Amino acid sequence: MALLDAILDRTGAIGARIRGYALRAERDRVYMSRPAHIPKRTKIIANNGVTLVFDAVTDIQENYPTKVTSFPVEDKSTISDHVINQNPTYSVTGVFSDYSADMNTEKGSMSQQEFRQELMKIRDARKVVSLTSPVDTFTDLIVTNIGLPRKSGDGTSLFVDISFEKIRKVSAEVTTVYIDSVKKSGVATSGDTNIKNNTGKNVGNQPVKVPPSLAKPVPQTPAVDNTPVSLARDIRDKVVAQDAEIERLQQQL
């Protein structure tokens, strides 16, 4: 091996080219020997199974923005209450061409026009996609912008600038709350109603005791005097006579 390197060093440009071919062959050997689950090219995978494979990607950016309030913050307050971590965003700049079928077998028979149409369908339908590359994988993404720049010298290849925003998910839990039944007396007093996380109890409409301070006063009906008129007159005369006799005795004293 040392003798071959010495010969290549003395052959000038031809030796340098041979050495470059050897390095490229070694790189391809290492690249193809990786496990099959590691993606070899950058792809956009929609949740309906559509896969868009780039021929080449020149740039991938990750952004993790944080928004800070523009209003003054009160002294000694918790600063984190005024800071919001926004959704992560990603962007990809790549190229797709009809003339790369021999170099990019992963894209199958998809044409340049089909690539563009499927990309627009994903955007119009607001589908959730994943972005995979030989280095990272990003999931739960929504396409927020598609740019199709064309410059002189680009030829007929399709150049795309795609922006994504990640949807953050949270788990939701549901708890069933039952109210304990009232006492057998049928009247609930203070402390009789408890909230318990048990099952199989149906309270329904139960009477509840109202505090006296909130109770509405009940109007009193005046008593009806059913005494005969003649009897009432006799009683009144006797009472008047007794009062007169008492007054006379008091004067004699």
Instruction: Report pLDDT for 164.
Output: 97
With beta carbons less than 8 A apart as the criterion, state whether 128 and 167 touch.
yes
The residue ranking higher by pLDDT, 237 or 85, is 85
Give the Å distances, CA to CA, from 15 to 26, 27, 100, 109. 17, 18, 29, 39
Indicate the average pLDDT of the chain.
77
Instruction: Report pLDDT for 150.
Output: 86
With beta carbons less than 8 A apart as the criterion, state whether 167 and 193 touch.
no
The residue ranking higher by pLDDT, 119 or 203, is 119
Could you report the per-residue pLDDT of 97-152, keeping only the tens digit for each? 888 777 778 888 888 999 999 999 999 999 999 999 888 899 999 999 999 998 87
The tokens 């923005």 sit on which residue? 65
Domains of the chain: 1-33 (no CATH), 36-69+80-166 (2.40.30), 173-212 (no CATH)
List own/partner pairs for 154-159 with CB under 8 A and 24 or more apart. Answer: 156/97, 156/98, 156/112, 157/55, 157/95, 157/96, 157/97, 157/99, 157/112, 158/95, 158/96, 158/97, 158/112, 158/115, 158/116, 159/93, 159/94, 159/95
pTM, two decimals, is 0.53
**C-alpha span between 111 and 106 (Å, rounded):** 12
Helix (H, G, I), strand (E, B) or coil at 178: strand
Could you report the per-residue pLDDT of 36-51, keeping only the tens digit for each? 555 578 999 998 889 9
